[in-house]
Amino acid sequence: MESGRGDENYMNAAIIGIGLIGGSMALALKEKNIAATIYGVDANEAHQQQALKLGLVDEIKTLEEAIALSDLIVIAVPVNIAEKLLAEILPKIKKQVIIDVGSTKNAICLIADKSKNGKRFVATHPMWGTEFSGPQAAVGGAFTDKAVVICNKQNSDDEAVALVENIYKALGMHIVYMDANAHDVHAAYISHISHISSFALANTVLEKEKEEKNIFELASGGFESTVRLAKSNIDMWVPIFMQNKENVLDVLNEHIAQLKKFKSCLEKENVEYLGQLIENANKIKRILK
C-alpha cells in the first residue's frame, strides 16, 4: 500500500461499484477527510466517466491496481457479484481492509470464512438507500444519523473492525452488531418485503389502471410514497431476493395471510374485525414516530 500511514485519518480507498451506495460512500469519505485518494472501479464505462465528472472518485483504476494502491476496499455491487469479487480479492491482499455494503450477509460471510485472509473482511450494511441508481444518484451526507449493521464481528481481525467502526462513526452512523443469519432474517422483515410489496402494488395498478394519465394525475402522496420503491434497480434487487429467498418467502407468506384477512373482512362485511386489523396495525406508531 502506498498511502503512507494506513489509519482511518489518512488512507487511500477503492470503491468497487460507483453507484448510489458506492458513490455516496465516496463522497462521505471525502467530506469527512477520511480518504486522501479515492480510486473508482466499475465495469460500466459510462459510470466511470460520470463518477469522474461528478467528483465522486479521483481516478479510475483496474481492480488489480485499486487493490494494490488502497488501504480500504469497499465492495458496492449487487450481492451476487459481491460474493465473486470478495473471493477474487481476498487472496490478493496483504493488510488491506475490505468491507461490503450489501443487503444480505450470510452468503458473503461464508466466502470470507473460507479464505486465509478472510479476517481482513468486515461485513457491513449501511441502512440507507433510495430508489435511484447510478453515479448520478449519489448524495452527500447520506449516512448521517443512520444505522449500520456490522455482522460476525468475531470473525474479523480486531484491528480491521476497529478501523471500520471508526470510519462509520466519523460518518455519523450508529453501529448495530448482528449475526449474519439474524441480519438476513431481519432484513427480510424490514426491507425486502417492503420492496416486494411496492413492486406488486405497482404491477397491480399498472394492470388495473390502463390510463397512465390517471395514475399521474390522481396518485396521492400516500400512493406515491408506498410505490416509490418500485422504481428500484432490477440488477440490485433480483439477486437480493434470490439470495435471501427462504427468509423472504417466510415473511411473504405472512404478508399474504394478512392481505387475505383484509380481503375476507370486505367479502363478509366484517366491519368490527376490519377495524381491529387497522387498530392493531396502528401499534407501529409506537416504534416509528
pLDDT, tens digit, for every residue of 86-96?
Answer: 999 999 999 99
Element (DSSP H or E) covering residue 51: helix 45-53
User: In 10 A of CB 32, how many CB atoms?
Assistant: 16
Task: Tell me what pLDDT residue 213 has.
Answer: 77
DSSP state of 189: I
Q: Which long-range contacts link 81-86 to residues 24+ away (Cβ below 8 Å)? A: 81/17, 81/239, 82/108, 83/107, 83/108, 83/111, 85/16, 86/111, 86/112, 86/121
Please tell me the distance from the alpha carbon of residue 227 to that of residue 198, in angstroms, as a whole number: 5
Domain edges within the chain: 11-178, 183-286
- Residues lower than pLDDT 50 in the chain: 1-8
**Assigned superfamily of 183-286:** 6-phosphogluconate dehydrogenase C-terminal like domain (1.10.3660.10)
Please tell me the distance from the alpha carbon of residue 67 to that of residue 61, in angstroms, as a whole number: 9
Q: Please tell me whether residue 149 adopts helix, strand or coil conformation.
A: strand
User: In 10 A of CB 200, how many CB atoms?
Assistant: 15
The class (CATH top level) of 11-178 is alpha beta
Task: Tell me what pLDDT residue 9 has.
Answer: 55
Cell (9 digits) for 206 = 399498472
Say if 11-178 and 183-286 have the same CATH topology.
no
**Residue 30, CA atoms < 13 Å, CB-side half-sphere:** 18
- How far are the Cα atoms of 192, 221, 227 from residue 224, in angstroms, in the given order? 18, 5, 5
- Angle subtended by helix axes 245-268 and 180-187, to nearest 10: 30
